[in-house]
Chains A and B, each alone.
Chain A
């Protein structure tokens, strides 16, 4: 049963990783604009950025 000593921490760590990822995405504002995010994928963002204008 010593395998449990590896498996349980591994399982918990994976779960904790998921939780941490969720909390991070929440904190970084990824859940702030759900409707907008759904539409932004269709936005053609090839327009030149002002910060690095085309030569």
Chain B
């Protein structure tokens, strides 16, 4: 299956949506109500009947329908009194996290409508093309006189409405371009289609021999297919991205002056509101802690991998994760002074300075469209001179040139490859936001990685598990079991992987900033910082540690390290072997960055970089002419992500990181970076091959058309063959990568790195 199972790290909001569902409920024309829910982790088809069965068991619900492709559930009911909150609770019982969403709001409906319009146009033009082609075959095989006229008239009857209906996407775009005083590919397309149809109509009136109805409709059919593929790719990427974003659509619990609480959307928060943040929640706004003590994970904001203590008076920012205790936060002034606003301002300026990237297809269109018009005009003028003013045959020749040169295969050359490429990448856990990202990715010569959350998984791992006695580990796991602190979770995971059951301890208390205390068989036990346990600080390696105290005696020391992604070293070695310059640009402390860099064999690294410094560094590399791929996840990376030629972010990144990045990859593996680059290079190669094929065909056909030897038959054959060759060539990409990569996009658990793609690539 695909990669959906690995959305995991992005989800740390409350598992049941707690807000008011009323805004998401829509009333249908027949009076029944409908609620759309996204289930991001829906990944096994066996869940379809489970979910539908469970939901239909809810009293009052009339139907529940799972859409497996878009990972949604549509639930409908008739009674206005039905409480839709039960749906989310039921799903949660089944182990699914769900979020309500409004399809019309998230832009998906517009995408859907557009894609249906295009698909209908493809269907109509396909029908018309097939039927006109059948009639044309009869004409080409020698129908004459009134039979030929009849066939032409029937063709006209099919072709003219088809052109009017299915040609609209091109006509609109051409009119828009012309009204801005520009040319795009759609101008010659519209001209060719309309002129061919009109000229053929004129010929039909005058019992002429030659009609190009089939050409104009077939042209539309091929071009619409290309346009549909292009649209499909963008829509798919957008819908995946909006699914990810919907997960973290954050809300906040606000305490009113009278002590009552209510849930507000993060955007509705105002300064001076009192926000209650439970342990395990992400902060929805900037503020100052009024009461409570807790540890705060700020890794997404600063790249700092160790949690920090936050007590009364501490300044906290949106996006930080509250780990150990509840906090009451006074929301500070929104507006231009917040950390978030500063990041967004930096991002906007970085995006402005991002030099406008022109895709190969657009560059070609700029040369191609004028060239086509000049050729047609030259043909007209040449024929007028040659024939001494025979308008009829001159116009016929000029229109034939327009039809023959119409960028039919060109319109398919890039979309077809990109559609195949995005499918290949999707299966490998990479989501590309648009085709330009693929093109940019193929030309990259420098890769800059953020450390925390990008090269690492952003969560600590117990490094000395093997040297701990199983008794100590069991005891520590018993204490840590109830805590959300990342170090505690690492202890539990280590115990689980050694198959040690947590010891039963009583009276567990979590003291933020210090650790956990409890009693075990009557003895006091503690698990926490050196300071709290009364041991002298160590040599300052800067690595997080836990001390386990049993009966006031030190039992053992637990050492942690932010774990590198299992295949990070192998992926980086491959990137370097491909001649790319690889660097680390991190906001974390020097010692942690140095260790990661030396493990991964990266010579160039920077630690302690602020968002501004990251941005400045990427800009300076760009100024030096390097084509930078920025890979990062945090808020602090967002400006640099926007500044790089192109950028990738793991799906666990912040909203802003995911918005800023061109490409998002899923799972615990870093391999998608490599796969994406390989696919991008192959895509680029195939696109260029397709261009050469298409232009080559035109070069052969144009002289024939200019000399007036074109017949509708030649036009039809030339157009169809070149289009089919281009599509066939594009499909090679899918075949190649299907053979090469059976990459499990997400490894279920860490452990031995599973590198089928890397191995195959080396072979």
Tell me, in angstroms, the Cα distance from A54 to B715 when the chains sit together: 65
Contacting pair A33 B67 (CB below 8 A): yes
0/1 per residue, B5-49, Cβ < 8 Å to A? 000000000000000000000000000000000000000010011
Q: Nearest-CB distance from B426 to chain A (Å)?
A: 12
Contacting pair B48 A19 (CB below 8 A): no
Task: Decide if B147 is an interface residue (CB 8 Å cutoff).
Answer: yes
Tell me, in angstroms, the Cα distance from A48 to B356 when the chains sit together: 60
Tell me, in angstroms, the Cα distance from A42 to B68 when the chains sit together: 14
Q: Nearest-CB distance from A46 to chain B (Å)?
A: 10
Q: Which residues of B contact A50 (CB under 8 A)?
A: 56-57
Contacting pair A42 B45 (CB below 8 A): yes
Task: Decide if B119 is an interface residue (CB 8 Å cutoff).
Answer: yes
Contacting pair B127 A33 (CB below 8 A): no
Selected contact of A36 from candidates B48, B131, B134, B158, CB within 8 Å = B48
A4-B150, A23-B120 in contact; A36/B127 too (CB < 8 A)?
Answer: no
Q: Nearest-CB distance from B233 to chain A (Å)?
A: 15
Q: Which residues of B contact A23 (CB under 8 A)?
A: 120, 123
Task: Decide if B66 is an interface residue (CB 8 Å cutoff).
Answer: yes
Task: Decide if B497 is an interface residue (CB 8 Å cutoff).
Answer: no
Selected contact of A19 from candidates B49, B66, B67, B127, CB within 8 Å = B127
Contacting pair A36 B147 (CB below 8 A): no
Interface residues on A, range: 20 to 34
0/1 per residue, B146-187, Cβ < 8 Å to A? 010010001000100000000000000000000000000000
Interface SS of A by simple majority:
helix
Contacting pair B49 A47 (CB below 8 A): yes
Tell me, in angstroms, the Cα distance from A53 to B150 when the chains sit together: 62
Q: Nearest-CB distance from A38 to chain B (Å)?
A: 8
How many cross-chain pairs have Cβ atoms below 8 Å apart between A and B? Answer: 59
Tell me, in angstroms, the Cα distance from A50 to B303 when the chains sit together: 53
Interface residues on B, range: 20 to 34
Task: Decide if B753 is an interface residue (CB 8 Å cutoff).
Answer: no
Selected contact of B130 from candidates A15, A40, A45, CB within 8 Å = A15
Q: Nearest-CB distance from A54 to chain B (Å)?
A: 15
A4-B147, A39-B45, A47-B49 in contact; A33/B131 too (CB < 8 A)?
Answer: no
Contacting pair B69 A36 (CB below 8 A): yes
0/1 per residue, A14-39, Cβ < 8 Å to B? 01101100110010000111111001
Contacting pair A15 B56 (CB below 8 A): no
Selected contact of B49 from candidates A16, A35, A45, CB within 8 Å = A45
Task: With CB as the reference atom, state the residue of chain A lying closest to B50.
Answer: A43
Contacting pair A11 B131 (CB below 8 A): yes
Tell me, in angstroms, the Cα distance from A50 to B120 when the chains sit together: 37
From A22, A31, A44, name the one whose CB has the most chain B CB atoms within 10 angstroms. A22
Q: Which residues of B contact A19 (CB under 8 A)?
A: 123-124, 127
Contacting pair A47 B131 (CB below 8 A): no
A36-B45, A39-B48, A43-B48 in contact; A8/B154 too (CB < 8 A)?
Answer: yes
A39-B48, A44-B49 in contact; A15/B66 too (CB < 8 A)?
Answer: no
Tell me, in angstroms, the Cα distance from A32 to B67 when the chains sit together: 8
Tell me, in angstroms, the Cα distance from A45 to B119 when the chains sit together: 32
Q: Which residues of A contact B56 (CB under 8 A)?
A: 50
Tell me, in angstroms, the Cα distance from A1 to B144 when the chains sit together: 12
Task: Decide if B70 is an interface residue (CB 8 Å cutoff).
Answer: yes
Q: Which residues of A contact B134 (CB under 8 A)?
A: 11
Q: Which residues of A contact B68 (CB under 8 A)?
A: 33, 35-36, 39
Q: Which residues of A contact B123 (CB under 8 A)?
A: 19, 22-23, 26
Tell me, in angstroms, the Cα distance from A18 to B127 when the chains sit together: 8
Q: Nearest-CB distance from B413 to chain A (Å)?
A: 26
0/1 per residue, B70-86, Cβ < 8 Å to A? 10000000000000000
Tell me, in angstroms, the Cα distance from A31 to B127 when the chains sit together: 19
Q: Which residues of A contact B119 (CB under 8 A)?
A: 26, 31
Contacting pair A47 B127 (CB below 8 A): no
Task: With CB as the reference atom, state the residue of chain B lying closest to A27.
Answer: B116
Task: Decide if B53 is an interface residue (CB 8 Å cutoff).
Answer: yes
From B66, B67, B134, name the one whose CB has the most chain A CB atoms within 10 angstroms. B67
Tell me, in angstroms, the Cα distance from A39 to B50 when the chains sit together: 13
Tell me, in angstroms, the Cα distance from A34 to B57 when the chains sit together: 26
Tell me, in angstroms, the Cα distance from A26 to B68 when the chains sit together: 17
From A1, A12, A36, name the one whose CB has the most chain B CB atoms within 10 angstroms. A36
Contacting pair B69 A34 (CB below 8 A): yes
Interface positions, chain B 92-126, Cβ under 8 Å from A, are 116, 119-120, 123-124
Q: Which residues of A contact B45 (CB under 8 A)?
A: 35-36, 39-40, 42-43
Contacting pair B66 A36 (CB below 8 A): yes
A18-B127, A36-B48, A50-B56 in contact; A26/B116 too (CB < 8 A)?
Answer: yes
A15-B130, A45-B49 in contact; A26/B154 too (CB < 8 A)?
Answer: no
Contacting pair B150 A47 (CB below 8 A): no
Q: Nearest-CB distance from B204 to chain A (Å)?
A: 16
Q: Nearest-CB distance from B425 to chain A (Å)?
A: 17
Contacting pair B120 A33 (CB below 8 A): no
Selected contact of B131 from candidates A4, A12, A22, CB within 8 Å = A12
Contacting pair B69 A35 (CB below 8 A): yes
Selected contact of A33 from candidates B69, B116, B135, B147, CB within 8 Å = B69
Q: Nearest-CB distance from A35 to chain B (Å)?
A: 4
Q: Nearest-CB distance from B527 to chain A (Å)?
A: 46
Contacting pair B150 A16 (CB below 8 A): no
Q: Which residues of B contact A18 (CB under 8 A)?
A: 127
Q: Which residues of B contact A15 (CB under 8 A)?
A: 127, 130-131
Q: Nearest-CB distance from B598 to chain A (Å)?
A: 44
A33-B70, A35-B69 in contact; A1/B120 too (CB < 8 A)?
Answer: no
Q: Which residues of B contact A33 (CB under 8 A)?
A: 66-70
Q: Which residues of A contact B48 (CB under 8 A)?
A: 36, 39-40, 43
Q: Which residues of A contact B158 (CB under 8 A)?
A: 12
Q: Which residues of A contact B53 (CB under 8 A)?
A: 47
Q: Nearest-CB distance from A23 to chain B (Å)?
A: 6
Task: With CB as the reference atom, state the residue of chain A lying closest to B123.
Answer: A22
Q: Nearest-CB distance from B681 to chain A (Å)?
A: 29
- 20 A-B pairs within 8 Å (CB atoms) are namely A4-B147, A15-B127, A16-B127, A19-B123, A31-B119, A32-B70, A33-B66, A33-B70, A34-B69, A35-B45, A35-B68, A36-B48, A36-B68, A36-B69, A39-B45, A42-B45, A43-B49, A44-B49, A47-B49, A50-B57
The 8 A-B residue pairs with the shortest CB-CB distance in the complex, in nearest-first order: A36-B68, A39-B45, A19-B127, A33-B67, A35-B69, A33-B69, A43-B49, A35-B68
Given A11-B131, A16-B127, 17 other A-B residues pairs in contact with their CB atoms under 8 A: A4-B150, A8-B135, A12-B154, A15-B131, A32-B67, A32-B69, A33-B67, A33-B68, A33-B69, A33-B70, A35-B45, A36-B67, A40-B45, A40-B48, A42-B45, A43-B48, A47-B53
The chain B residues found within 8 Å of chain A, CB to CB, are 45, 48-49, 53, 56-57, 66-70, 116, 119-120, 123-124, 127, 130-131, 134-135, 147, 150, 154, 158
The chain A residues found within 8 Å of chain B, CB to CB, are 1, 4, 8, 11-12, 15-16, 18-19, 22-23, 26, 31-36, 39-40, 42-45, 47, 50
